[in-house]
Amino acid sequence: MSEEVFIEVFIEGIRIFLVTISPILLVSLGVGLIISIFQTVTSIQEQTLTFAPKIIVTFLALALMFGWIIQQIGDYAYRLFTIYMGMI
């Protein structure tokens, strides 16, 4: 495997990782921001108030997007084994 192909495969893998994980992180960030605003307005500083909704919404987002994530990873694996393996 040439150096260029290795770098291309590595960059594509990082891109797939970022594309698949960023929607879940953005949902978690949004929920955290809403809860932080709520805590600031009400002066409630309870740690479980932040943790529990974020973990629930994060798992919900993961469950809803699981099919899409698997599709993206499967497409990458298919490209990896069909296109790049032919270059070796």
Q: What count of Cα atoms within 13 Å lies in the side-chain half-sphere of residue 77?
A: 6
pLDDT digits over 69-88, tens only? Answer: 999 999 999 988 887 676 65
User: Which regions of the chain does DSSP assign to beta strands (E)?
Assistant: none
* pLDDT tens profile 4-59: 888 988 999 999 999 999 999 999 999 999 998 988 898 888 877 788 889 999 99
pTM of the predicted protein model: 0.77
DSSP 53-74: HHHHHHHHHHHHHHHHHHHHHH
Rounded Cα distance, 36 and 45, in Å: 9
